[in-house]
A and B are shown apart, each in its own frame.
Chain A
């Protein structure tokens, strides 16, 4: 059964820093991996989707990579801003099966 682990559980950085959030998964046959953002008390916003044939995806200041052989994904946030403060969740799945979620990394960017 797929298990997804996220490290660190919480992270606090000063504004302007570049940072990396880590995600590992146990099932190397994963087909796709998604990164989400969740603000307190809110739903999930999809940030990036990496399909199994891809190695990375970029959107603005965000870059996500996927290494299936090592069972790892990273989310890189460049030039962090206070508005980036949120919980970041990674989730993986095989094909059209439902996503399995990690416990998230709670990010605080201090002005």
Chain B
């Protein structure tokens, strides 16, 4: 298994500002993903964070809005840019292990006012 931590755990931000969420894993992992969970909804994949190259974004998500960095095999950041109230969600970091099991961090609860 993998132990994943996220910072911050929650934040309240003003419209138009940006927030960077950090994800730290206790071991080196190949696969890292970022998901969003809007209120009352299930999880939607934002992007796959690739180490040393640009992230792979899902349909409906763009780099300008959700820039992602992954400088090494244990760390990634997701930035939510130019926020609006519609960005209020839980953002979750996830990692994939060699046997195709995914583990999730505790999430970052973002409220945009």
Contact = CB atoms under 8 A, between A and B. Distances in A.
Q: Real complex partners, A and B?
A: yes
Interface of A: 31-32, 34, 36, 41-44, 46, 49, 51, 89, 91, 93, 95-96, 98-104
A41 B109 contact: yes
Interface string B93-110: 010100111111111010
Contacts of B106: 42-43
A67 B78 CA distance: 36
A16 B105 CA distance: 31
B63 interface: no
Given A51-B100, A96-B30, A103 B92 contact: no
B48 interface: yes
A34 to B, nearest CB: 7
Interface stretch (B13-21, B37-45, B81-89): B37-45
Main secondary structure of the interface of B (DSSP, over half): strand
Interface residues of B, number: 23
B101 A49 contact: yes
B31 interface: yes
B33 interface: yes
Given A89-B42, A103-B41, A103-B42, A98 B105 contact: no
24 contacts: A31-B100, A41-B109, A42-B106, A43-B92, A43-B104, A43-B106, A43-B107, A44-B92, A46-B103, A49-B99, A49-B101, A51-B100, A89-B42, A91-B102, A93-B102, A96-B100, A98-B45, A98-B48, A98-B102, A99-B94, A100-B45, A101-B42, A102-B42, A103-B41
Across the A-B interface, the 9 shortest Cβ-Cβ residue pairs: A44-B104, A43-B106, A43-B107, A103-B42, A101-B43, A32-B100, A101-B42, A49-B101, A98-B33
Contacts of A34: 101-102
Given A44-B104, A89-B43, A99-B45, 16 more contacts: A32-B101, A34-B101, A43-B92, A43-B105, A43-B106, A44-B43, A46-B101, A46-B102, A49-B99, A89-B42, A91-B43, A93-B102, A96-B100, A103-B41, A103-B42, A104-B42
